[in-house]
Amino acid sequence: MKKIFSYSLASFLLIGAIFLGFFVKIVPEYNMEISEIFPQKNAENTFEVALEKPKNTWYLGLDKDFVESNFSHPEGLCAKFLVSGEEFSECLDLEDADETLEFYSFPIITKLSNKISFEILYNHEKIHDIENLTLYAINTLPEGKKLAFSPLETIADPMVISRAQWGADETLRYANHPKQLAIKHANLGQASKPKTEKQKKAAQKLADINKFVGEKLANQFTTTEMIRTENGQELVWPIQKVQKVNKIVVHHTADKLDGRSDEEILRAIYAYHAVTRGWGDIGYNYIVGQNGRIYEGRAGGDYVVGAHAAYNNIGSVGISVLGDYEHGYLNANQEIGLKTAIDMAARKYNIDLNATVMGFKTCNQSSCYPIQVVYTPALLGHKDVGITNCPGKNIYASLPAWRKELSQGYNPPAMTQNVVPTPATPIPQNNSSSGLFGENFGLKIQPTIQPTITPSVTQNNISINRNITSEMRQSLAQNNYSDQKFRVKLSYLENQNFIELSAFENADAKALLDNQTKNISRGEKISIHPTNNGKIAVKIGSENFEVINFLLASSAIEINSWSRKPYWDKQNRYNDNIFRDTIEIFNQNGKLAVINHLPMEYYLKGLGEVSNGDLPEKIKTIAVAARGYATFYMQKENRKYNTDRYDGSDDPNSFQRYLGLGYELRSPNVAKMVDATAGEVIFYNDKIIKPWYFSRSAGRTLSYSEYCQKNNGKNCENIAYLQSVDDPAGVNQTQSGHGVGISGIGATRFAEQGWDYKKIIQYYLAGVTIHK
């Protein structure tokens, strides 16, 4: 009887629940706790963390004041992570960073692990003196199952997978969530502190932008609803709705997928957006998964204002696709899913995808202060209204055709079951403010979760925003140096049998094909590949040549087929594929050899051996040492390479880290210090020497003989100017580099104490002189 009664009671409860609009089901149980860990360094200055409970989502927080006080280029701060044998690299997420108390690294999503190690890099160099560092960790996987009374699905679009189905923890949106309370407390403490001039200017600009955008939109949009509570809980970010939607903004999340499930990635992005970035919820309105499934994004339903494109959220729908489509491609299901989501939104809001709509794009020039007004098609990419490459070139290129196709009505074909997403080619990758439309007015830029970036080559022209100013163009037009040219071999990938180049910025150019000179039209691209007979085939316009040697001379030359974007550059501002003066190309054992000829001083300005933010005397020290190193190997008796075709290499493991014109343009302080020491090299007994220099000692430098013996060298002679000296800045540090000669960390310490570059050099290299 007891058993029969228990069944009857269960049936009664189930029927009653359904009658009341609920049903009982077994659902995954998540613990979306965001753990904060304050990691400690080991003897190798690597951070290691072991947790009791495993996590799968990780990112770092660095105190904003510390970063801004110690690093002139925060975009160069990155972390290398090691989790379960997998390596990940991510840099700081600087979008809307002025509105937070910390700079955060882009999250990584990994296999479940309770151990992680990482190191911090600045402009590729490992750094050790880092303060106020926090590791954030989340487990977005279910920890179990539970029986729950769930409301019957009421989402208006049956093809859309609801937030409940992908496991959104709605408490993250509530003001009384422990993490949200902690953030509120920290913000109040920060607000009570005196503001720096930089912070005051940033706040004034934000106020001016809000006022400008508000006035522009006042006659177009009206807030119809502002929901501040849900289930009796105050919301961190109120749900705001407007009376119309007139545009669709397409995004990609730029994730490294690696077999992670859609739901796992969505929950990671949701926690990062809603809590860490302070946006109250996931920013997108819809998300398309790896097999084309469409997921509900921001809570609130139709007409809700998202947080996906700064100053363009009101009146827009943000649709994002999981994955990286700057380097990868949509699979068939993803394209169907994305087009279906666009068509669904266009029909719902009666949007003409080809109509022209007004938008706003941030601008740092006085001519468009406080913000630039732009006009775009109603179906647009995030990059049309933001400084970003989102949604990636391989989606963005399809938008014009989709505008036409979807405007004629879309009948989606059947999807293929379990399509594997097309992977990205491995390339070694505002808080709320009150305004006219309330708390959600015009704020967020989508924080993409970027993959590790490494060099790649395609035959497509690489489009990069180089931020070329009139002063830079004037510098390009000048050649202030007439000394003998240095020849540096560029590390253009050996497995690439094709190269395309052109004069940068459409400058004048001349080509030398063996003994034939040819003027190159502005904007004309030149393609070259090796032949089987030891020559190279050159195509210029419609003309074809077969020659032994090719040179292209111009004020600056771009290798269009070379993607050499710095791995820390998440906003695609730079591509180190631009070089001054002359590029020479020839066939070297069936491969293309690419040599840059340029004056020594320009070569030094393009060297990434020192940071633009370093102290002037430290920069001068390294500039003089680097000039001496290159000059030494230009001499016939000191050749480093068994050839007379080039003097050095851009490979730092073999020679020096040469990046070219891109580095020169973004490092004006380095260029100034090169000019300040123009022509100066280091002598010992009136002979030019090869100055040894390295990154960091362990408290003293090594003599050459000591270094030689440690490395089992032969003929370990005693070199008078390469003796061991105390290096106070290296005490309690781990040696980085060979340890001989000038210590980089020591040069910084002595520059801080007021030493000039000559005194620093002569401390580490006994008995030398410095002059032209």
> Which pLDDT value is given to residue 763?
95
> Which pLDDT value is given to residue 20?
42
Question: Which has the minimum average pLDDT: 21-35, 255-269, 698-712?
Answer: 21-35
Here the contacts of 5-12 (C-beta below 8 Å, separation 24 or greater) are none
Q: Which residues lie across from 394 on neighbouring strands?
A: none
- Three-state SS sequence of 404-464: HHHHCCCCCCCCCCCCCCCCCCCECCCCCCCCCCCCCCCCCCCCCCCCCECCEECCCCCCC
Class of residue 310 by CB neighbours under 10 A (exposed 0-12, middle 13-18, buried 19+): buried
* CATH homologous superfamily of 166-407: Peptidoglycan recognition protein-like (3.40.80.10)
* Residues 242, 300 contacting (CB under 8 angstroms): no
| Distance separating alpha carbons of residues 439 and 344, to the nearest angstrom | 27
Mean pLDDT of 750-768: 93
> Which pLDDT value is given to residue 434?
27
Mean pLDDT of 460-472: 38
Question: Which has the minimum average pLDDT: 108-112, 229-233, 277-281, 495-499?
Answer: 495-499
Question: Which has the minimum average pLDDT: 50-54, 627-631, 681-685, 711-715?
Answer: 711-715
Query: Tokens for 54?
Result: 């495993």
* Cis peptide preceding 370, ω within 30 of 0: yes
Give the pLDDT band of residue 548 (cuts 50, 70, 90). Answer: very high
636-657 residue pLDDT tens: 888 888 888 999 999 888 899 9
| Distance separating alpha carbons of residues 228 and 234, to the nearest angstrom | 6
* Residues 283, 298 contacting (CB under 8 angstroms): yes
Tell whether the model's pLDDT for residue 13 goes beyond 50: no
Instruction: Tell me the longest C-alpha to C-alpha distance in the chain.
Output: 108
Query: Tokens for 698?
Result: 């362990």
> Which pLDDT value is given to residue 533?
92
DSSP H or E stretch at residue 6: helix 2-19
Give the pLDDT band of residue 63 (cuts 50, 70, 90). Answer: confident
> Which pLDDT value is given to residue 70?
85
| Distance separating alpha carbons of residues 622 and 619, to the nearest angstrom | 5
Tell whether the model's pLDDT for residue 442 goes beyond 90: no
Q: Which of 319, 344, 310 has the alpha carbon at shortest distance from 249? A: 319
**What is the chain's alpha carbon radius of gyration, rounded to the nearest angstrom?**
29
> Which pLDDT value is given to residue 351?
93
Tell whether the model's pLDDT for residue 500 goes beyond 50: yes
> Which pLDDT value is given to residue 471?
46
Topology annotation, domain 35-151: Jelly Rolls (2.60.120)
- Return the sign of the alpha-carbon dihedral for residues 28, 29, 34, 38: negative
337-368 residue pLDDT tens: 999 999 999 999 999 999 999 999 987 667 77
* Residues 530, 590 contacting (CB under 8 angstroms): yes
Q: What is the dihedral of CA 301, 183, 202, 214, to 10 degrees?
A: 20
> Which pLDDT value is given to residue 156?
47
> Which pLDDT value is given to residue 488?
95
* Residues 62, 117 contacting (CB under 8 angstroms): no
Residue carrying the six token digits 């996931």: 282
* Cis peptide preceding 391, ω within 30 of 0: yes
Tell whether the model's pLDDT for residue 154 goes beyond 80: no
Computed over every residue of the chain, the mean pLDDT equals: 81
Q: Which of 707, 710, 690, 693 has the alpha carbon at shortest distance from 763? A: 693
* Residues 265, 166 contacting (CB under 8 angstroms): no
Tell whether the model's pLDDT for residue 282 goes beyond 90: yes
> Which pLDDT value is given to residue 734?
82
Better pLDDT: 199 or 728: 728
The residue type of 2 is K
Q: Would you say how long the chain is, in residues? A: 772
What is the strand order of the sheet 681-684 is part of?
687-688, 681-684, 769-771
407-418 residue pLDDT tens: 887 888 877 655
Please report, for residues 109, 252, 269, 316, the alpha-carbon distance to residue 57 in angstroms, rounded to integers and kept in the order given. 5, 19, 9, 29
| Distance separating alpha carbons of residues 566 and 572, to the nearest angstrom | 9
Q: In this prediction, what percent of the chain has a pLDDT beyond 90?
A: 39
Query: Tokens for 246?
Result: 């007139």
Tell whether the model's pLDDT for residue 12 goes beyond 60: no
Q: What is the dihedral of CA 640, 643, 644, 646, to 10 degrees?
A: -70
| Distance separating alpha carbons of residues 518 and 112, to the nearest angstrom | 60
DSSP H or E stretch at residue 2: helix 2-19
Mean pLDDT of 452-472: 33
Mean pLDDT of 174-194: 80
| Distance separating alpha carbons of residues 287 and 267, to the nearest angstrom | 12
Mean pLDDT of 375-398: 91
Better pLDDT: 425 or 28: 28
Tell whether the model's pLDDT for residue 169 goes beyond 90: no
| Distance separating alpha carbons of residues 154 and 162, to the nearest angstrom | 9
Instruction: Give the DSSP per-residue string, 46-67.
Output: -EEEEEEEEEEEEEEEEEHHHH
Backbone angles phi, psi at 418, to 5 degrees: 50, 50
Class of residue 10 by CB neighbours under 10 A (exposed 0-12, middle 13-18, buried 19+): exposed
Pairing outcome for strands 591-599 and 485-490: antiparallel
> Which pLDDT value is given to residue 25?
54
* Residues 79, 143 contacting (CB under 8 angstroms): no
From the CB of residue 331, how many other CB atoms can be counted at a distance below 10 Å?
Answer: 20
Instruction: Give the DSSP per-residue string, 221-236.
Output: --EEEEEEEETTEEEE
Tell whether the model's pLDDT for residue 14 goes beyond 60: no
Please report, for residues 47, 576, 586, 603, 641, the alpha-carbon distance to residue 634 in angstroms, rounded to integers and kept in the order given. 42, 24, 21, 13, 10
Tell whether the model's pLDDT for residue 244 goes beyond 70: yes
> Which pLDDT value is given to residue 627?
94
| Distance separating alpha carbons of residues 208 and 436, to the nearest angstrom | 13
Mean pLDDT of 64-68: 82
> Which pLDDT value is given to residue 451?
25
> Which pLDDT value is given to residue 418?
52
Tell whether the model's pLDDT for residue 152 goes beyond 60: no
* Residues 138, 271 contacting (CB under 8 angstroms): yes
685-705 residue pLDDT tens: 999 999 999 988 989 999 999
Q: Which of 391, 244, 266, 374 has the alpha carbon at shortest distance from 318? A: 391
Give the pLDDT band of residue 524 (cuts 50, 70, 90). Answer: confident
> Which pLDDT value is given to residue 159?
75
Q: What is the dihedral of CA 698, 700, 705, 711, to 10 degrees?
A: 0
Q: Check residue 194 and report its DSSP letter.
A: P
Tell whether the model's pLDDT for residue 604 goes beyond 90: yes
Give the pLDDT band of residue 710 (cuts 50, 70, 90). Answer: confident
Tell whether the model's pLDDT for residue 420 goes beyond 60: no
Tell whether the model's pLDDT for residue 436 goes beyond 90: no
Domain limits, the chain: 35-151, 166-407, 455-612
> Which pLDDT value is given to residue 478?
53
> Which pLDDT value is given to residue 441?
32
The 10 Å CB-count burial string (b at 16+, else e) for 36-60 is: ebebeeeeebbbebeeeebbbbbbb
Give the pLDDT band of residue 147 (cuts 50, 70, 90). Answer: low
